[in-house]
Amino acid sequence: MNALTPKVEVRFYDKNRVVKKKGKWDSQRGLIEVKRGFRKGSEVYYADPEHIYIEYYGFGNRKWKLVAHVDNATRETINVSIPKKR
């Protein structure tokens, strides 16, 4: 894995369902490449760098992962704003 293409979890929003897949984010070109399945090619989505989020999980030693939310109809990342705690 190259430092310029980190792994990212992609969440696809398609009408009323959400599908999770893994992909690689090419930060220089601004694209996310996701494998479609076994022996099939990959799909490419436009990724705005401001729409890539860091999500923390786990207890004790907190781990993190990159998450992108993609609208399947427009094939672009979407802004998912999370309200901050007061």
Residue 82 domain-assigned?
no
**Residue 22: strand pairing partners:** 9
Confidence band, pLDDT 50/70/90 cuts, at residue 81: confident
Percentage of residues of the chain with pLDDT beyond 70 = 91
- Chain-centre distance for alpha carbon 31: 10
Contacts with 46 (C-beta within 8 Å, 6 or more apart), sequence order: 30, 31, 32, 75, 76, 77
What's the confidence (pLDDT) of residue 86? 62
Residue 83 domain-assigned?
no
What's the confidence (pLDDT) of residue 17? 92
Domain residue limits at 47? 7-77
The string of DSSP codes covering 15-72 is: TTEEEEEEEEEETTTTEEEEE-STT--EEEEE--GGGEEEEEE-SSS-EEEEEEEEET
Q: How many domains does the structure of the chain reveal?
A: 1
Residue 59 domain-assigned?
yes
